[in-house]
Amino acid sequence: MLAELPFWILALLTLVGIVAGFVDTLAGGGGMLTIPSLLLAGLPPDAALATNKLQGSCGTLLATWYFVKRGQIQFRRLLPGIAACALGAACGTLTVQYLPKEALQQALPLLLAVVALIFIFMPSLGSVAREARLPYGKFALAAALPIGFYDGFLGPGTGSFFMLALISLRGYTLQNATIEAKAYNATTNLVSLLVFLIGGKIVWLAGFAMAVGQILGARLAAGLIISKGNRLIRPAVIAMSLIMSAVLAHRYWF
């Protein structure tokens, strides 16, 4: 399959990766661009999903590294949540092979629409830091574990769910929640990527071509998250949550 991908397709995948990396780092939803692009490039569905995890992992890792280097993420305090995310993602990735996911697929468009409506009708949510309702250990069990499971089981909207959980349970601003969510997202992506590596489904040339774009887009968005903060993140999250809700409603309801 590698020999069948001409240079112009690889170049287009890189361009798609730039846009997807920017969108995914800022508000989530980049998979709506990358997976269809990989399918159009001729990859089978299972290979497209596996290759998508490769390029997506590169974007979330770059964003996480960028925030760590600038002192925005303290890994030591995140270890309980990261461990819970990894466990949840592993369980979700294994469970999806045995359990039907149609019910969750049907509910997902509504859940994403609710996320958008919360940010629309609660404009002060995440504007200032508030007292945490849960310490990190309890947050790991109450939120990081189930969201990690969801990401391994299904996936779309994971970043939005992490952000909302960090704001409501940890008292974060939207900016800080977006930053910390990248570390959790990187964890779940890497766990899923490991499973796909074992399965041997990744098309490396396509994945690396798109990963180059992901890294560039993620780097640009990470800088804007720090410099622009909530003014940029809030409308982006609302827009992407509504777009994902509409796309997934069309896919699963009609």
Confidence of residue 155 (pLDDT cuts 50, 70, 90): confident
Task: Please report the pLDDT score of residue 104 as a whole number.
Answer: 83
| Average pLDDT score over residue span 19-34 | 90
Task: Please report the pLDDT score of residue 105 as a whole number.
Answer: 86
Query: Which sequence spans correspond to the domains of the chain?
Result: 2-253
| Average pLDDT score over residue span 168-189 | 95
This prediction's pTM:
0.89
pLDDT of residue 148 exceeding 80: yes
pLDDT digits (tens, 9 = 90+) for 59-113: 999 999 999 999 999 888 899 999 999 999 999 888 877 878 888 889 989 999 9
DSSP the chain: -GGG--HHHHHHHHHHHHHHHHHHHHTS-THHHHHHHHHHTT--HHHHHHHHHHHHHHHHHHHHHHHHHTT---HHHHHHHHHHHHHHHHHHHHHTTTS--HHHHHHHHHHHHHHHHHHHH-TTTTTS----SS-HHHHIIIIIHHHHHHHHHT-TTHHHHHHHHHHHHH---HHHHHHHHHHHHHHHHHHHHHHHHHHT---HHHHHHHHHHHHHHHHHHHHHHHHHTHHHHHHHHHHHHHHHHHHHHHHHH-
